[in-house]
A and B are shown apart, each in its own frame.
Chain A
Amino acid sequence: AQTVTQSQPEMSVQEAETVTLSCTYDTSENNYYLFWYKQPPSRQMILVIRQEAYKQQNATENRFSVNFQKAAKSFSLKISDSQLGDTAMYFCAFSLYQGGKLIFGQGTELSVKP
């Protein structure tokens, strides 16, 4: 069975600085999908970034980038130039198939301080 672990329940960062959220996962499969979702206080889950395991290149979306280490089964999220609107709960998630069920980590609550 696949598992996802986020070992940082809470983190804080000063506005404009960079922060990295950690995620590790466990699977015996070779191909799969990894995601970072953001859940602000409004509760709407928003996809931040997606990585397909067969792609070597790390995914990037504007200020958000990942460090995907397949051998180490690590998938960390880096947020550059943090903004107050980045304050949210961040979830790392795993899926074996496109459109398949998501397996989530426990979440990391990020606070961006002015």
Chain B
Amino acid sequence: DVKVTQSSRYLVKRTGEKVFLECVQDMDHENMFWYRQDPGLGLRLIYFSYDVKMKEKGDIPEGYSVSREKKERFSLILESASTNQTSMYLCASWGVNQPQHFGDGTRLSIL
């Protein structure tokens, strides 16, 4: 069974901090994604990656960056956290002939 693991289930940070959200998948999937989930808006794509060291902007990349140094790990970085980045963050990965598999999400609060 595919396992997508997000490093934290809950996280509280302060404005201006640099925040790292980590995601690891164990199935050698090429494609990995970071989504943000807000009530009434569904999930929106922040960034995605089709291969190591490759990244593409999604629909709402402002204020975020990503890193994919190894195939199994895809990190989301909030360069200088702001209160409007308080949200649920979901990581997903995809492999051939499979649907996207999601992690359990990180609920991030920026104070």
Contact = CB atoms under 8 A, between A and B. Distances in A.
Given A42-B104, A43-B105, A45-B102, A99 B30 contact: yes
Interface string A101-112: 111111100000
B74 interface: no
A98 B98 CA distance: 8
A105 B42 contact: yes
Contacts of A45: 90, 92, 102
B90 to A, nearest CB: 7
Interface stretch (B18-26, B43-51, B65-73, B76-84): B43-51
Interface in A34-93: 35, 42-45, 47, 50, 91, 93
B3 to A, nearest CB: 11
A44 B104 contact: yes
A104 B42 contact: yes
Q: How large is the interface on B (under 10, 10 to 19, 20 to 34, 35 or more residues)?
A: 20 to 34
A93 to B, nearest CB: 8
A91 B102 CA distance: 13
Contact of A44 (B44, B88, B102): B102
Interface residues of A, number: 22
Contacts of A100: 31
Given A44-B104, A45-B90, A102 B43 contact: yes
Given A42-B104, A45-B102, A101 B42 contact: no
Contact of B41 (A44, A47, A106): A106
Interface string B37-69: 000111111001000000000100000000000
Interface of A: 4, 6, 9, 35, 42-45, 47, 50, 91, 93, 98-107
7 contacts: A43-B105, A45-B102, A91-B43, A98-B94, A101-B58, A102-B35, A105-B42
Interface pairs A-B: 8 shortest CB-CB: A45-B102, A104-B42, A104-B43, A99-B94, A47-B99, A43-B105, A106-B42, A99-B31
